[in-house]
Structure 1
Amino acid sequence: MSNIVPLECSCKAVKGQLKIVPGSFFHVQCLCCDCQSFAAHLNNKEQILDQHGATELVQTYPAYMKITQGQDKIACVQLNDKGLYRWHTACCNMPLANTMNSSTVPFVGVSVELMKFGNEQEKLELLGPITMKAFGKYSIGEIPKDAHARFPLSYLPKIIAFMLKGMFTHKNRPSPFFNKKIPVTKVNVLP
């Protein structure tokens, strides 16, 4: 099985690929109110969020993600002027990824909805199980039993090690979302 996952938006106008490198990604679910607000902004909650309001993401390095078609259909919003850059398609309002608001940070959280697997087994073999569910206090309805109410501090050393490894190995570039230090499209801050 290849470790390259095809990426494709709902209308097939934006395509790409994501390289899955063992030890260089986290398979997570985020239940935060910002992810839920982003889904609401895209008017696409049913496709993006699960029944608890969680978004499924693969957090990895920008260097492992490529957009091969539809670069002109990439849009970006921030929920506030200091928030994450939330990248999506302008064609079908599908989330692409989240990045920090700086091209120097080696982090991209790619929407699993964008990934094309042959079946659920292939997805599980490549990504493994979800290793963390964070911000359960924002869940819709009852908090899932395996979700943390906030971001678990026990996960912090893993994130720091991941970021340091990415900085030392320059995994922040190339990025599908930045041309050197400049975002590939205008970033709109939501009111």
Structure 2
Amino acid sequence: MVSTVALECSCGAVKGELAVVPGAFFHVHCLCCDCQRYAEHLGNEAAILDEYGGTELFQTYPAHMKITQGHDNIQAVQLTPKGIYRWHTRCCQMPLANTVRSAAVPFVGVPVTFMKFASEQDKQAVLGPVSLKAFGRYGKGTVPDDVHPRFPLAFMPKILAFMVKGKVTGKSSPSAFFDGKAPVVEVQTLY
């Protein structure tokens, strides 16, 4: 059964909704250094990162996400010229999503902090458990034993199958972050 989750930034200026479609997402915990540098750039580490320096993400298709309010508050950066696009709010510096640089690729990673749930139990009922915990070598403190030190190559066939399915079914659009092939805002490169 498809569930719809409300999206809202910290100050409430940017809102949207996300369709949680069974079999069309990955619920992941990423502890990579890029996510940490991005949180540092936004100056909002405490609200973005958990105690291990990680970010809980919901990776799905762009067609399943829409922004309904606050389009004028959307900004984007990429850490390096070949890096992914990292979308955030201008108003409260909250991450909205990660995408690759091409509108044709059916992928969007939405931070769970941008989602609105009544409780932790409600979140678990809708999103289910985290299916991948990666990049533990960049974690802060003593990370849990079930966090892979890098990205596990055994997970790659699932990602590729997900991308192929999204491409064949046309799930790369509509996209909240691309107008045709172009990003909806100019993307700033940081480094």
Alpha-carbon distance in 2 for matches of 1:33, 1:119 = 29
SS of corresponding position for 2:116: coil
SS of corresponding position for 2:172: coil
With structure 1 as the length reference, what TM-score do the two structures score?
Answer: 0.98
**Which residue in the other structure is 1:168 paired with?**
168
Within 5 Å, give how 1:84-99 maps onto structure 2: 84-99=84-99
Q: For 1:130, give the aligned amino acid.
A: V
CA-CA distance at 1:36 after TM superposition: 0.3
Within 5 Å, give how 1:150-165 maps onto structure 2: 150-165=150-165
**Which residue in the other structure is 1:110 paired with?**
110
**Is residue 62–residue 107 contact of structure 2 (8 Å, CA) maintained in 1?**
yes
CA-CA distance at 1:154 after TM superposition: 1.1
Q: Which 4+ runs in 1 deviate beyond 3 A?
A: none
CA-CA distance at 1:15 after TM superposition: 0.2
Within 5 Å, give how 1:115-154 maps onto structure 2: 115-154=115-154
SS of corresponding position for 1:68: strand
Q: For 1:172, give the aligned amino acid.
A: S
CA-CA distance at 1:2 after TM superposition: 6.7
**Is residue 44–residue 94 contact of structure 2 (8 Å, CA) maintained in 1?**
yes
**Is residue 78–residue 188 contact of structure 2 (8 Å, CA) maintained in 1?**
yes
Query: What is the root-mean-square deviation of aligned Cα atoms in Å?
Result: 1.0
Indicate the percent of aligned positions where both proteins have the same amino acid: 61
SS of corresponding position for 1:144: coil
CA-CA distance at 1:171 after TM superposition: 0.3
Within 5 Å, give how 1:171-182 maps onto structure 2: 171-182=171-182
Q: What CA deviation, in whole Å up to 9, does each residue of 1:1-44 have, x standing for no partner?
A: 97000000000000000000000000001000000000000101
Q: For 2:3, give the aligned amino acid.
A: N
**Which residue in the other structure is 2:50 paired with?**
50
SS of corresponding position for 2:176: coil
With structure 2 as the length reference, what TM-score do the two structures score?
Answer: 0.98
Alpha-carbon distance in 1 for matches of 2:32, 2:172 = 25
Alpha-carbon distance in 2 for matches of 1:9, 1:84 = 21
